[in-house]
Every structure is written in structure tokens, then in C-alpha cells.
Amino acid sequence: MRFETKAIHAGLEIGNPSKSIIPPISPSTIFEIDAAGRNEEDLHYTRLGNPNRLQFEYLIATLEGGAAAAAFSSGIAAAAAVLQSLDPGDHIIIPEDVYAGNRKMVTGIMNRWGLKSDFINMTDPATIEAHIVPKTRLIWMETPSNPLMRITDIAAVSEMARSRRILTLVDNTWPTPVNQLPLEFGADLVLHSTSKYFGGHSDILGGAIVAKNEDEFFERIRLIQRMGGAVPSPADCWMLSRSTRTLAYRMRGHNEHAEKVVAWLNGHKKVADVYFPGLKSHPGHDIARKQMKGYGGMVSFIVDGNQAESIRIVGRSKLIKRATSLGGVESTWEHRQSSEGEGSVTPKNLIRLSVGLEHPDDIIDDLEQALA
């Protein structure tokens, strides 16, 4: 079956004994135990498992081509579960421009618990290789990166890591499996903030880890999901499954609109540079073309002006909402450095735009008046 078909049908057979076309939301926190005694396979308490969570986990694992998935109450809870599955003293390599919340979690929490980390530019596999030490256990990729749009070669890094028994993870929140399938390129784990394109309507907070293999490391992640307890509600899982059915078509719209916006921004007198992997001039374009089917709906651009001018431009929008986060049907933008805070490597004159599903000419009209 093709992606679009799987997105609509996968997961409906699981935890759905009534064979509803749209499965019901199961609010019950408890499930009756068999008279003959407790069977580990059965559901008994919602923190450990719930029909709606099983459905969404099956769906996202299927779409990423993984063996299993664990859903969390946020993307950052999913990221924390991976890091907590490592041992104190383990070392990770992670992008210097990784999503700022994940950077703060590593430096503010995990380093205190003994995790060692190197934040580096991950555009050249040789630089990554040079940072590997005997205790390196995980290489974390975010490609395209947030918000510098740097590209990492997933296949090259995964191959290098595999030969050294190092795990690889790709934060696939921005491209989504519609545009990029990291497990096909050899990665072990995929991370999602499902608050973004999977939810797609800026009304759900969630996260997920998809694993290529249901191995011992994934069992650790599952244990943290169940015993850490940062699980999504049945209603959120239901909403996510519902939104996922249209993911392929929404991403097609985001891809197409972003291309149009980029073509308009590129060369504008107030724009010094546009960061978008679909541009032939982007330094990572050839690798992006190899590992991506579309370039997504996120665009970063550098204002030909200072920080104050960049903030002023964002303040002038009428249609594009001034908001953080991304991946909704509505276009949003922000002066990114202001929201990243301490430790940010983002230029002071960078604006990050999440191109939505409004008519692209209306988005461009708003950009035109804001940049005038």
C-alpha cells in the first residue's frame, strides 16, 4: 500500500473490536482483568496502554517504516525518554543548532545526570567522525535543522555510526515521513514533535519515538514512557490519528506553498539570504535531494537589516500570525532568536516562517506589505 492509503487505514484494526470506521475515544483509565488472572498482553491501565494510543503508535510506526513507536505528551518528553535511556557517562553528538528546547534539556538537565555532549555543526560527516569518543552512544540529527536549515547526510552518518555500534536518531518533525524516511536511510530512531505537522492544526501537544527495531534500547524508551508517565491522553491520540489521515495532502500543500514563497523572497531587496534546502544554491541541496521527496513548509530568511528591523517586519504582518511553533494550517512567523534565548546560534536578523495552507498569493501579499 502507498503512503496516502496507509495514513487513512493503518491503525483502525487495532483496539477497535466494534469495527467502527472511526474508532471511539476510550476515556476509561482501567480495563477489566481476565477472570483467569492478569495477562501482560492485555490492557489494564491507561498510562501503560490505551486503545487510542495503540492506534496512533501503530499508525506513526507504519508511516515511518518502523517496527514500533512510543507516543508521549510532547515532543520534548519523547526526546527526554531517549536521553534517559542512555547511561550516565555516555556521550552524544548533537547539532549546535538543534531545536532550542532540546539543547536546554541536554545542558540544563541531562548533563547534570552525567550525560556528556558535543554540540557541533553536522553538515560534514568528517566533523562528526572527529568528535566520536569511546563512550559515544548516540548521534542526534535534525535535518533540515531548526532554524538554520542545515542538512545532514543521514545515510553517511548512519553507516559510520553502525560500524561503531553507535545509535542514530533523526528528528523528523519538520520534513515528516511524507518528505523524508530516515529509517530507510539507516537511522535507528525517529523523533517527532507531533504538535507540528502530524497534529497540523496547532491544537495538540504530543511527541513520538519510532524505532527501526523493537530492541533492548527501545524497551528502555517504553519503560520511561510507562513509568515516567508523560503519555498523551486518549483524546489527543484520537485527534492525532484523525489529523494524520490528511497528512500527505497537507504536506503537499505546505511543500508547494513554501516553494512559491521562497521564489518570491529570493532576490527581494530587504532579504539578504533565504535558507531553504530546495534552493539549488543551498549548500546541502544535493544531499537534501537524495534523502527528501519534498522540502517542507519551513523557510528561514535573513533580513537585510539589524535585529530591530527584523522584529519590526514580523510586527507588521496582518495575515501571518506572530507565533512560535509551526506546522499548522495557518502561516506563522517569528524573530527566532528572541524565542530561543541564551545559547542560541541563530543570527539576530533571522525570521522563521511556517508557510501555511492559505492561498499562497495571500501569504505573499502579506509578506509584500510587511517587507515594504
Q: Which is nearer to ligand PLP, 88 or 341 (CB)?
A: 341
Catalytic residue among 53, 103, 150, 196: 196
Amino acid at 271: V
Catalytic residue among 99, 197, 275, 295: 99
A 10 A CB-CB count for 187 gives 26
Q: Report the phi/psi class of residue 280: left, alpha or beta, with left for phi > 0 and alpha for psi in -120 to 50.
A: alpha
Rule CB under 6 A: is residue 340 a binding residue for ligand PLP? no
CA nearest 247: which of 181, 199, 313? 199
| Strand partners for 273 | 302
Among 52, 85, 173, 300, binds ligand PLP (CB under 6 A): 173
Residues 2-41 that bind ligand PLP (CB under 6 A): none
Quick check: is 171 catalytic? Answer: yes
C-alpha cell at 63: 508511516
Q: Which is nearer to ligand PLP, 49 or 207 (CB)?
A: 207
Rule CB under 6 A: is residue 344 a binding residue for ligand PLP? no
Q: Which is nearer to ligand PLP, 115 or 371 (CB)?
A: 115
Sheet holding 189-193, edge to edge: 68-72, 207-211, 189-193, 167-171, 136-142, 91-95, 116-120
Q: Which is nearer to ligand PLP, 139 or 205 (CB)?
A: 205
Which x/- pattern over 177-196 shows residues binding ligand PLP (rule: CB under 6 A)?
----------------x-x-
Burial letters 210-233, b for 16+ CB under 10 A, else e: bbbeeeebbebbbebbeebebbbb
Quote the Cα angle for 350-354-360, to 5°.
115
CB 200 → ligand PLP: shortest distance, Å? 13
CB-based contact 355:298 (threshold 8 Å): yes
Residue the block writes with cell 492544526: 201
* Count of positions on this chain that bind ligand PLP (CB under 6 A): 15
Contacting range for ligand PLP; rule: CB under 6 A; set: 69-77, 154-162, 329-337, 355-363: 69-77
The residues annotated as belonging to the active site are 47, 99, 171, 196
> Which residues contact ligand PLP (rule: CB under 6 A)?
74-76, 99, 101, 142, 146, 171, 173-174, 193, 195, 205, 207, 325
